[in-house]
Structure 1
Amino acid sequence: MPSGLATLAALMRSRRFAPLFWCQFLSAFNDNFVRNMLAMLILFRLGETGAGALITLAVGIFVAPTLILSGLGGEIADAQDKARFARALKGAEIAVQALAAIGLWMASLPVLYAALFGLGVISALFGPLKYAILPELMARDQLVAGNALVEAATFAAILLGLIAGGLSVARSPASTMLQLMAIALAAFLTSLFIPSTARAAPGLLVTHNIFASTAGLIAELRRDAKLWSRSIAVSWFWMVGAVALSLTPVIVRAKTGGDIAVETAISALFALGIGAGSLAAALIARGRIILSGAPFAALGMGLFLIDLGVSTAQLPAATTETGLLTFFASAAGVRVAVDVLGLASAGGLFVVPLFAAIQADAPPAWRARLVAAVNVLNSTFIVAGVAATAILQSAAIGLSEPVLSILLGVLTVAFALYVRRCVAPAPVKT
């Protein structure tokens, strides 16, 4: 059996996997570039009142299509050649990026929101495809490594896209427009090299009622207790990540006075941790799909969240702004950084084997549709988690961000027991 490093290196050289890897990387970079460019435009260039609400609206506009259209994407991917479908979506992305470029040139929020919705639609349709095609492009003993690389690339692209989007506000609109189009064109060109696949369900008729289709896919996923429990576990990871990413910047700013450089560094540590944990999962697995470590990874996520809250709850509110060197020279800053890195690394170790197990055991003719159902479940958990957090933060309840981090950590420690009972006792045989 090849070593984990050898498998990772072989996949990155493979003509079957590398085009999908770079297509996903560029697409994730593109999405986050536009999202953060819109946020920075609202904050710094347009001077809109109610900026917070407008930025939250942008997040909702991008995420909403995942809840509505993932099922449709899964049906199309199962019924068609997945590579051909990917090329069609990436071709459409060029047109959407052109719309974003027009919106930037006009400094028009409605046009930029329309472009962001278009990117959300493409992302929702592409999501089931990119995961369902992996088992068709590689052997079973490469699945964990393939998922690890896709997850690492996704979070690296998110980080780079956020940074590039933030920096775009200081550049000329013309240069940013050129970059928008170059990214979209590069994503399309990489999609041309994704190998064609056979139709998983050639007789499948796409359901026109997308709500009935989505409900049907969730019901199909629930019929398999093993896949359902793994999907719940994966969705918990995405909910924890979304809530932690909303709490941590506020904690850092309020308790340490971290400036923009500090906030960017913390985001970088989160992305680095997810990537490191994902790659570590591949190295540990050595071609196997092993779920026995999932409860311990969930426990680690919970403990790091608790420590993040405990270490900052008693700190006084920051009264001065703190730069990068000062932040990392302080005990509080180092502890926050270690907690963020530990949380993210544990998350990567947790989610990669679970998703590989879902892909491996999903029936081939249903794989894209079941992945779509998992994506809908992920989005539902994220929306519920973020909404609950917002309610607990409201003036009516008024829980602080450190307390909320502790609460989320305690819930995640308890969730580790669910993973131990319902997921880990059923390891995937290889």
Structure 2
Amino acid sequence: MRSEHEKTDKGTEWAARRGGRPDFIQASVCAALTLIVWAGPSAAASEPTGSATTFSVSVDLLDDWGSGACGEGVVTNNGSVSSLWDVSVDLPGYVTSYWNSEISYWTHSDDDGGAMSHSWRVVGDEWNRTLEPDASTTFGFCLDRTQEPEAPPAHDPGMPMEDHPHSDMAGDFIDLATFGLTYGSDHTDHTGLVGGRTAITTEALLAYNNLRAFAGLAPATLDEVGAWAFANNLTNNTQAWGTDQMGVGLWYAMQGAKVGWMADDSFDPQVVADIERTARLGVLEDVMAMVVAYGHEGFAEYLTENGHAETFNNTLKMEPHYGGWMHDRAHGWLSIENVAIAHDVNHLTVLSHDQMQPFMNDTWDWPQWPALEVSQARVLEYFQSMVVLGDPLGNHLDDLSGPPFENSDIPLPAGC
């Protein structure tokens, strides 16, 4: 959903009038601010090491009725490279609706509890998030001055996972939020985990390495998977920062485990949606029947005989948008068949709101159009490359029959 609360009648009316009457703003009361902000490392798009990306944003309150207001912001890329914009602005109220962007609440690190405006993080939509040097884009919002914002769900990377509302029930796995959590699209935090969707945890690495074992490959660590992703232009940046390499590694391990088990001659993107939905409905027997029908020969038996079926099923439930990593860390820029980039194809495992269709964009039921132009064979090979850590544009896992390789001692990050 676009906002956490229903739009006010005033805000809805203003948005409608703004779209149909551009001259309306000329008669409005304007309160303008100009802020110079910075883009963190995760917000830069293929930025050369050492180059600076600086954005400026001017925010105008164009219609102010006391208890609330509506306005617009203009973001400009003042840097020298094409970049993903990510800005922080102070707004005098609680944002109730927004458009041409994603807006989420940020608490001030120096908040002393006194009267102050509220800081909000703003990132672009799919269509306007990348800005060329000197280019600008516009976003809109409405706010309510009578409503106090609530802090987002706990996402302190140092917080013990037992206090995390969506940590693994057995406490055996680490939540992706431990490596960082951002708010940039629906399903990024725990409030968006609906319809059986679950948080991404290191249980996905277990499922991933189970699949690697079936393929006769030794277990891989999060750092190894992450290093592969960075080396193959499957990330926002060319350089890892902080725990980014481990987080990206977990994210791509999850993606590989979700899709890489499918056989070449039976792959169909719709099956990905069907099996994820079935897993989220809690019907393990039906999930395994689909693995028999669409997976590599012997894979279903391998999972069952070695006690790996539940881990595989749990990984299918995980929401790729969780934690913001899909857009803010794992936004791959690799060109695929000259019609899409890796990020578009990564949307295979993102489903429509009713979870009936693959290749969707958040919960607004918008298809990821460029990905639909990529051949099905290339889509599967791309996901299989995550399993073997090979060329994302190469061919992998043909006629896999599953050698007798058991990986009971799979390495997990410290603390698992």
Tell which has more relative contact order, 1 or 2 (C-alpha 8 A, sep 6+).
Answer: 1
Do they superpose with TM above 0.5? no
The TM-score, its normalising length taken from structure 2, stands at 0.29
Whichever of the two has the greater Rg, that structure is 2
